[in-house]
Amino acid sequence: MQSSTLLVIGGGPGGYVAAIRAAQLGIATTLVEAGNVGGTCLNIGCIPSKALIHAAEEFHKLASYGAGSPLGIQAQSPHIDIARTVAWKDGIVDRLTGGVAALLKRNGLRVVKGWAHIVDGKTVEVAQQDGQAGGVLRIACEHLLLATGSQPVELPFMPFGGPVISSTQALSPASLPQSLAVVGAGYIGLELGMAYSKLGVKVSLVEAQDRILPAYDAELAKPVLAALKKLGVSLHLSCRVLGMDEKGGALRLENARGEPSALAVDQVLVAVGRRPRTAGFGLESLMLDMDGPALRIDEQCRTSMRNVWAIGDVAGEPMLAHRAMAQGEMVAEIIAGKRRRFVPASIPAVCFTDPEIVVSGLSPDEAAQAGMDCISAAFPFAANGRAMTLEAGEGFVRVVARRDNHLIVGWQAVGRGVSELSAAFSQSLEMGARLEDIAGTIHAHPSLGEAVQEAALRALGHALHI
């Protein structure tokens, strides 16, 4: 039997960051991962999806120039080799996963490639693979960190296989279908649905609720809805999915009035959410407290068993890679004896649709529900010079602040490239900025960031450019 002070199960963003930070602090650490390091985000999620979205945008841009454009650009008959696109995307993933592996090696970490099975809170068995010593390796540890991530939710009456695909298959198509139905109008469904539409696929969007992006502020979703209609995406809102027909060539639906219909499609992408990965590695033997399908943790990411920790998606919402990274770093530091707790002022969330959406902190409605008396103000990108030069006049930046002391409690934005504003939003919340702080900060001109300053100015009653 081998031993390690810290044993991390899962080499995703949370797991590998925790392992690296622990090694930096002198903690003997072992990382167990069955696949490539980097987890869902790096291998089959955040990074490859953004690569596909970028390729789709470039192709769509060229295709739209067929009849000329206001910029004076004209292109004829653009073509996309999807196999080459996928290879380019895979190359990015390979370089990044290779980089993570190099970081782990540089920090002196032991990485065991194989499937972990928990024996108890201090012992894990690993069925090794890929050229490592065969058989089962037994590892004893003082601290066990669970960073097993999440997996796509599968509809029981329409399992993955054949024409029914998950986001994983959607990111590596061997060829493009003529038509695609996307079940679920959350951020995953919209990001991939819009990308496929821009690649020339006839896309239909099916959502059980009465609007797209139901988890987001309705005002933020309006520019995205307009973009979907401009792309020609067919919307089926307030519709329930019943499954595939007997021949597997149509998706059966039922609207709010109970009326059935059939949608003929080549493929169906099920994107109704993700669930914590808690099965298949002996977790049930620990009998940990649960919070629904997720592991229950406290503000230090401790589970109900001493020295067993959980971070990232396996610990529930929000399922964001940057949350997992921050939690992983914190856990390593706590094990090293530092005083830490996970109470961030903001965990920004970005929806990489076209246009993009970013939220950080509280929306006006959320602030009101929390009993806060707040003011909010928005500045439209239509009045921003840089946005106009980028043909990106849709959307806005909005700030939410307390009325009494002008403390900022939230930011929201929708527009081209607004994901890059997320750092400024979160930083202002973490630093306890007030409207006057943002309004009085000189912002570069011309830039999209000027809309941030103008939103603060408008909340104070003296916006300059609107």
Q: Could you tell me which residues are annotated as the binding site for FAD? A: 50, 148-150, 313, 319-322
CA angle at 420 for the pair 414 and 422, rounded to the nearest 5°: 75
Please give the full DSSP string across 287-356, using - where no structure is assigned.
---EETTEE---TT-B-SSTTEEE-GGGG-SS--HHHHHHHHHHHHHHHTT-------S---EEE-SSSE
What is the chain's length? 466
In DSSP terms, 161 is beta-bridged to 164
Q: Round to whole Å and give the CA distance between 90 and 79.
A: 20
CA distances (Å), 173 to each of 154, 189, 270, in order?
A: 19, 16, 15
Place of tokens 């246009």: 355
Query: Which one is catalytic: 79, 445, 462, 465?
Result: 445
Place of tokens 């529900």: 369
- Report helix angle 187-198 to 218-231, nearest 10: 20
**Phi/psi-derived region of residue 135, left when phi > 0, alpha when psi is between -120 and 50, beta in every other case:** left
Strand partners, 118: 124
Cα–Cα distance measured from residue 456 to residue 376, given in angstroms and rounded to the nearest whole number = 9
**Closest to 212 in 3D by CA, of 195, 197, 196, 234:** 234
Order the strands of the 202-207 sheet from edge to edge: 164-165, 267-270, 179-183, 202-207, 234-237
Q: What CA dihedral angle connects 153, 158, 162 and 168, to 10 degrees?
A: -10
Dump strand ranges (E) for 121-266. 123-128, 136-146, 150-152, 164-165, 179-183, 202-207, 234-237, 239-244, 250-255, 260-264
SS3 of 141, please?
strand
- Nearest residue to 282 via CA among 121, 158, 427: 121
Q: CA–CA separation, 250 vs 291, rounded Å?
A: 37
Tell me whether residue 236 is one of the annotated catalytic residues.
Answer: no
Distance CA 181, CA 429 (A): 39
Would you name the residues annotated as active-site residues?
445
